[in-house]
Amino acid sequence: MSKVIVEASDGILHVRINRPDVLNACDGETYDAIADAWDRLEDDPDLRVGIVSGEGRAFCVGTDIKWVKTPAADGYEDRLYPRMLSLTKPVIAAIHGHCNGGGLEQALACDIRVCTGDAHFGSGEVRLGWIPGGYGTQRLPRVIPLGAALELLYTGGRIDADDAYRLGLVNHVVGDDELLDRCRQIAGEIIKSAPLAVQKMKTTVMQGLDMPLPSAVRLEKESFDFLMRTEDSKEGALAFAEKRPPNWKGR
Q: Which of 29, 55, 125, 242 is catalytic?
A: 125
Q: Which of 105, 151, 222, 242 is catalytic?
A: 105
Residue 153 DSSP SS3: helix
Active site residue 235: no
| Neighbour tally for 75: CB within 10 Å | 9
C-alpha distances in Å from residue 103, one per residue of 44, 45, 60, 125, 213: 25, 27, 5, 12, 32
Per DSSP, 40 falls in state: H
Beta carbons of 134 and 77 less than 8 angstroms apart? yes
Q: What is d(CA 210, CA 120) in angstroms, rounded to the nearest whole number?
A: 29
Active site residue 231: no
Which amino acid, residue 68?
A: V
Q: What is the SS3 string spanning 101-150?
A: CHHHHHHHCCCEEEEECCCEEECHHHHHCCCCCCCHHHHHHHHCCHHHHH
Residue 236 DSSP SS3: helix
C-alpha distances in Å from residue 88, one per residue of 71, 114, 127, 194, 228: 32, 20, 34, 13, 19
Q: What are phi and psi of 21, to 5 degrees?
A: -65, -20
C-alpha distances in Å from residue 92, one per residue of 10, 16, 50, 53, 114: 15, 12, 6, 9, 8
Catalytic residue numbers read 105, 125
